[in-house]
Structures are given as C-alpha cells and as structure tokens.
Chains A and B, each alone.
Chain A
C-alpha cells in the first residue's frame, strides 16, 4: 500500500468552478498534512497545512482533514486558469520525525 495516494488526474474544471483534490494516507500516526502547488518545471510551493480534524480556510483554498478515514482534501473555490498545476499532498508523523512523505500529485487543469 502506498503511503500517500492521490489520483494522478488530470482533473479538468471550468473557470469559476470548485476544484476538489483528494489524498489518502496509510500511516495512522500521521500528525500534520500539507498541500503544495507545483507548476511545470518549478519547485513545490506551500499552499497550506492542517493538523486538526475539520476544515481550514485560507482565501480561496480550504483544506479538510478526517483522521478517522485517513483522508485529506483541498478545495479551490472560483478556480482560475492560473491554478492549473500539479497539487501535491504531503504527510508528516510529527514529533521528532522529520520525514515529509509526498503523494505523486494530481494534475489540475482549469479551462477558461
């Protein structure tokens, strides 16, 4: 079983729609969860992180975490063509564990 799984996509949404990106993880001891955006040829850019069950909002982005289901998602409201990128989910066990385990990413395309 892969440690962090994401649908590779591509996920295609029209401009102005809500894009929903999903991620599951296998390690029940995982404590913190991160979403990164990566444009083609560029390095990953941190969008937001979440530690607690529930929703966390930051501008057009909402992260959702359900530790019981080992599921984390990212919603992008009012999607723009500039949001077209690969979105990486990453998971950390916390404490003195320094390892951040990444999924392989979901390619999002926002169509004008």
Chain B
C-alpha cells in the first residue's frame, strides 16, 4: 500500500510565524504535490515537484515555498503565516504505473493561523 505521511494533523500558529509542513512518501514516487482545500473552493494546487530539487508553481503559490532535498520528502513553507492561510493542507505523491496509477494523499494538516 502507498503510504503518505504528514508531520502534523493539527497545527496552530500566530500571524507572521514561519511554518513548516513536512510530507514523506514510501513508494519511491517521482512526483509530489501540495494542495490546500477550502470549503466552496475545492482542492487547489500550491506547488509540485517532479524530481529532487525540482519544483513548479501550481495555481496558488503566493505566500508559499517548497523544498525537496530527498526523493521521499517534500516540505511546504509558509514564510510569514497569515490568517488567510488557515486551511487544510494535503500532500500527495503520484505515479503512472499500471494498476497503481494515481495521486495518493496523506492524512492532511489542518492549519489555523491566529
């Protein structure tokens, strides 16, 4: 089974703090993604990475950065957290490999910025 884990299930931070969200996958997938999910807006892609040290902006990259130093680990960084970044953050990894093809999500981190 594909396993994607995220460092925290719930996180509360103050406005202006630097926030690190970490994601680890154990299936040797090349591609990793960070989404946020908000009521009424659905899932929106923040950043993705198709290889170590490679990154591409998604639909809403403003206020975020990412780091991928190892294949299995993909970090999302909020440089200076703001209240409008309160959301559910979902990490995913993906493969196109026969029956296992698809995007696989971690359990999510519910971030509250006060």
* Residue in B40, B96, B106 with the greatest tally of chain A CB atoms within 10 Å: B96
State whether B58 touches A102 (Cβ < 8 A): no
Residue interface bits A26-69, CB-to-B below 8 A is 1, else 0: 00000010100000001111100100000000000000000000
Q: How far is the CB of A15 from chain B (nearest CB, A)?
A: 28
Q: How far is the CA of A105 from the CA of B67 in the complex (A)?
A: 30
B43 is an interface residue with CB less than 8 A from chain A: yes
State whether B48 touches A46 (Cβ < 8 A): no
* Residue in A42, A43, A44, A105 with the greatest tally of chain B CB atoms within 10 Å: A43
Instruction: List B contacts of A98 (CB < 8 A).
Output: 31, 33, 48, 50, 56, 94
Nearest residue (CB) in B for A100 is: B103
Instruction: List B contacts of A32 (CB < 8 A).
Output: 96, 101
Instruction: List A contacts of B94 (CB < 8 A).
Output: 98, 100
Q: Contacts A34-B103, A44-B90 known; A88 to B43 CB distance under 8 Å?
A: yes
B105 is an interface residue with CB less than 8 A from chain A: yes
Q: How far is the CA of A78 from the CA of B42 in the complex (A)?
A: 28
Instruction: List A contacts of B58 (CB < 8 A).
Output: 99
Instruction: List A contacts of B104 (CB < 8 A).
Output: 46
Residue interface bits A2-36, CB-to-B below 8 A is 1, else 0: 00000000000000000000000000000010100
Q: How far is the CB of A39 from chain B (nearest CB, A)?
A: 11
Binding site for B on A (CB under 8 A): 32, 34, 42-46, 49, 88, 90, 98-100, 102-105
Binding site for A on B (CB under 8 A): 31, 33, 40-43, 45, 48, 50, 56, 58, 90, 94, 96, 101-108
